[in-house]
Structure 1
Amino acid sequence: MGWERRGRWWWLVGMMLSVTGICVGCPEEQRESLVVSRIAFGSCASQSDPQPIWNAIINFDPHVFIWLGDNIYGDVRRPFKLFGKERTIGPWKNVPRFIPSSEKEMKSRYNKAKSNPGYSHIRKNAKVIGTWDDHDYGLNDAGKEFDRKSTNQRLLLDFLDEPPDSPRRKQDGVYASYTFGPMGRQVKVILLDTRYHRDPLFSDGSILGSLQWTWLKKELNGPSTLITIIGSSIQVISNLSATTGPLFYLESWGHFPKERDRLFRLIADSKRDGVFFISGDVHFGEITRYDCASGYPLYDITSSGLTQAVEEAVSSPLHFFVRFVAWLTPAPLRVMNRNCRYRSCTFGQPNFGAIEIHWDATPVMMRIEIRDMIGFPVMGVNVSLSELQAKNVSPFATTEYGRHCSLEVTLPWIVRYRLAVSFYSMLAALLVTLVGLSYAAILAYRKWLHKSKCD
């Protein structure tokens, strides 16, 4: 039932919403004991841009909404400058392109995001939880070295309406877990902090830090739930940087292979069923799957972004080129099917993630989708909870599940780097063509000059 059709009397509204899993005016404990069957999630929402996608999320009518980071863009981005006193790109750049904002400015940006009418509607009618990524952490690509993280942690928790006595306000980092629903229909959401304790990129150090790893192990080995959603601000399964480099790089757990292996082992050792990931950060939507880690298929559903999307950054005539590059990039773990809107099975326009749980089905089924700005599904998967049970699949199966076992780094060289090879080949062909045209023009000019002298 759409929220716009609410009755006139609040007691009737409460009854109707209690049936669907939300109880208006109820204590937090009572709200979290009701059945949750619709979960929305998203990331990368610039507070300065229009946010019409909230209307589609409202129509989806989620019981829970999960922020996956870049909930605001709090840092300052300098323009691209190749020359001048402040050069932000090129081998001779002398200033960073991103700089942090003041506490006052960060708070102002959070207030602007929080006052958005569409988001305000979600806050009133759904449970809102979340973590952060780099731009709301305070600085692009930053990790544990960032010196304003404690202050910005408080600002994020204020934005999320975290209670004053919340344990999240007393710990280093914003990681947290929530359990929704009654026994037998419980959903556990584990939100990771991939910033506060993260070592430098390409160091193959730690992402979570020792305290968060200890906490995560305890959470995974705790009371079982039918469904466990692990929210990571950066992609867990996809490691596109292994195939897009050296042209460009995307942050992911793949930059820290030891940490990712540790995460997969922890899930496998816990014998916990029904685990899958949701993620953000990359400014496009994607669904990936890895079958050789936990004893059953691990999915990672990436939704990015609510406003910031790769096709929004280029003019319309270049959208085809963006989609062609996405199709050309090797992605052996991406879920490919004919139901995707585009052949690449990525979506570079504003989007959000939608999870529908069919509790009354036997076995319980989930429909997980990426939806566009008007709420239309652009890609999705149907997942039976019977598939997400460790006893059904060997961790190293190579027959039925072998299709999603080839990591990007194990691809043959010519396949792994075909994007870079194609780019540099096109660049070389363009240069040869320009040289050829220049040479032909010079010959023509000489011939004309010679003829003029003879005349």
Structure 2
Amino acid sequence: MKIMYFFIATFLLAGCSSNKKPIENESAKPDFTLAFGSCNRIDLPNLLWDDILNTKPDVWVWGGDNIYADTDDMEALRAMYNKQKEQTEYKKLVETTDILGTWDDHDYGLNDGGVEFEAKDASQQEFLNFMNVPEDSPLRNRQGVYNSKKFSVGKHSITIIILDTRYFRTQLTPDNETSKRIKPNEYGEGTILGDVQWTWLENELNTSKSDFNIIVSSVQYLSNEHGFEGWGNFPHEVDKLATIIESSNANGVIVLSGDRHISEFSKTNLKRMNYPLIDFTSSGLTHAYNGFSGEPNKYRVGEVIFTESFGILEFNFSAKKVDFKIVGDNGIVLEKLEQVYE
């Protein structure tokens, strides 16, 4: 059965719908707007940057696969990053908006690559150049591209926590028994973040006093049945993140992810949280899984969007509310989810 691009559902604290309205027709101006996306090729039309500009985001977050290089040739990698930086509408965005982000395998340099990629340190420097990180920044001496930034809005604030799911990620387990590409490791085997990054992340959540804490992961956290890359390949680390989030008492934790060439909302309830944990996947910016015919995801809320799109989070501090939107070309809202954080 062909998956449709729209649905209407109502929840106690959250509503999800698709209205296909241009985003500029929304009446109430949010207190803070975060836009994000992933999977962007420089050899394909970059059609969405004008629409992203029109949302007037306070921050743009790259979710990974920001270019498609798959190379250990740093000159070639640099040339591709520079070409993206010269894309007219993206260049305007950089001039007017804070830019944050992480990488994924195709801009990291090795398809499905992890800790074994020998050029990762050189690649990291090229990534930081692309992100316009100053030469004297401490990030230049850090192993991995994880980092965080706090945005203050009056008496309120949002902390964006950027994870690196490549630099430390250990071996995946191929699935030679089914049609899936990868199967989960044995419980306790391997890591996606590595010890140093885990310690850093736990401290970030434990010490944050922000109204909202946005965790950016290049790969999906909740969806785990598709047989591609994701946190589900390290089930013990899925549980570890859930435990850290619960025990930290950090406010308004949200996960953003990419990688899959589809966009969707996933949601789960953690025992010690009075709001659901949402994993908002936005992918891709220049190409999508247009032949998508369905896949299981027990956490999914609504339908899968399999056309080019980007994600928007609109924050209302007084209402403790976030509007999540999947937006396509011409600013059309393809699907949206509303969540109140009590």
Question: TM class, shorter-chain normalised?
Answer: 0.7 to 0.9
Displacement of 1:192? 0.2
1:131 aligns with 2:97: no
Superposition RMSD in Å: 1.5
Displacement of 1:36? 5.8
* Structure 2 counterparts to residues 254-403 of structure 1, below 5 A: 254-292=232-270, 294-295=272-273, 296-311=275-290, 319=291, 322=292, 325-326=293-294, 329-336=295-302, 345-359=303-317, 361=318, 363-386=319-342
1:154 corresponds in structure 2 to 125
Residue number among 211, 227, 245 corresponding to 2:196 in the alignment: 211
Structure 1 portions without partners, runs of 5+: 1-19, 21-34, 76-99, 242-248, 312-318, 337-344, 387-455
Relative to structure 1, the CA distance from residue 308 to residue 294 in structure 2 (aligned partners, 3 Å threshold; closer, same or farther) is farther
Question: 1:31-57 deviations in whole A, cap 9, x for unaligned?
Answer: xxxx96111000000011110110110
Cα contact 1:184–1:226 (8 A) shared by 2: no
Cα contact 1:265–1:293 (8 A) shared by 2: no
Relative to structure 1, the CA distance from residue 118 to residue 240 in structure 2 (aligned partners, 3 Å threshold; closer, same or farther) is farther
Cα contact 1:36–1:187 (8 A) shared by 2: no
Question: 1:106-141 deviations in whole A, cap 9, x for unaligned?
Answer: 010000111100110110111001110000000110
Cα contact 2:36–2:63 (8 A) shared by 1: yes
Cα contact 2:36–2:311 (8 A) shared by 1: yes
Runs of 4+ in 1 over 3 A off after TM superposition: none
Give the TM-score of the pair, scaled to structure 1.
0.64
Say which SS state the counterpart of residue 105 (structure 1) adopts: helix
1:48 corresponds in structure 2 to 43
Count of aligned pairs:
299
Q: Give the letter for the 2:332 counterpart.
A: F
Question: 1:245-274 deviations in whole A, cap 9, x for unaligned?
Answer: xxxx31110010001100100011111120
Structure 2 portions without partners, runs of 5+: 1-28, 174-184
Cα contact 1:368–1:381 (8 A) shared by 2: yes
1:189 corresponds in structure 2 to 160
Instruction: Please give the alpha-carbon distance, in whole angstroms, between the structure 2 residues aligned to 1:385 and 1:71.
Output: 31
* Structure 2 counterparts to residues 18-33 of structure 1, below 5 A: none
Displacement of 1:183? 5.8
Displacement of 1:160? 0.4
Query: Would you tell me which structure has more strand in proportion to its own residues?
Result: 2
Instruction: Please give the alpha-carbon distance, in whole angstroms, between the structure 1 residues aligned to 2:104 and 2:272.
Output: 26
Question: 1:124-167 deviations in whole A, cap 9, x for unaligned?
Answer: 11100111000000011000000000000000000000111212
Instruction: Please give the alpha-carbon distance, in whole angstroms, between the structure 2 residues aligned to 1:137 and 1:331.
Output: 27
Cα contact 1:177–1:188 (8 A) shared by 2: yes
1:73 corresponds in structure 2 to 68
Say which SS state the counterpart of residue 263 (structure 1) adopts: helix
Instruction: Please give the alpha-carbon distance, in whole angstroms, between the structure 1 residues aligned to 2:81 and 2:111.
Output: 17
Say which SS state the counterpart of residue 186 (structure 1) adopts: strand
Instruction: Please give the alpha-carbon distance, in whole angstroms, between the structure 2 residues aligned to 1:294 and 1:301.
Output: 21
Displacement of 1:365? 1.5
2:221 corresponds in structure 1 to 236
Query: Would you tell me which structure has more helix in proportion to its own residues?
Result: 1
Displacement of 1:279? 0.4
Relative to structure 1, the CA distance from residue 355 to residue 189 in structure 2 (aligned partners, 3 Å threshold; closer, same or farther) is same
Instruction: Please give the alpha-carbon distance, in whole angstroms, between the structure 1 residues aligned to 2:64 and 2:271.
Output: 26
Cα contact 2:242–2:270 (8 A) shared by 1: no
Question: 1:208-246 deviations in whole A, cap 9, x for unaligned?
Answer: 0010011001101113110100000000011132xxxxx
Instruction: Please give the alpha-carbon distance, in whole angstroms, between the structure 2 residues aligned to 1:292 and 1:118.
Output: 40
1:433 corresponds in structure 2 to none
Question: 1:423-451 deviations in whole A, cap 9, x for unaligned?
Answer: xxxxxxxxxxxxxxxxxxxxxxxxxxxxx
The higher-RCO structure (CA 8 Å, 6+ apart) is 2
1:118 aligns with 2:76: no
Give the TM-score of the pair, scaled to structure 2.
0.85
Displacement of 1:292? 3.1
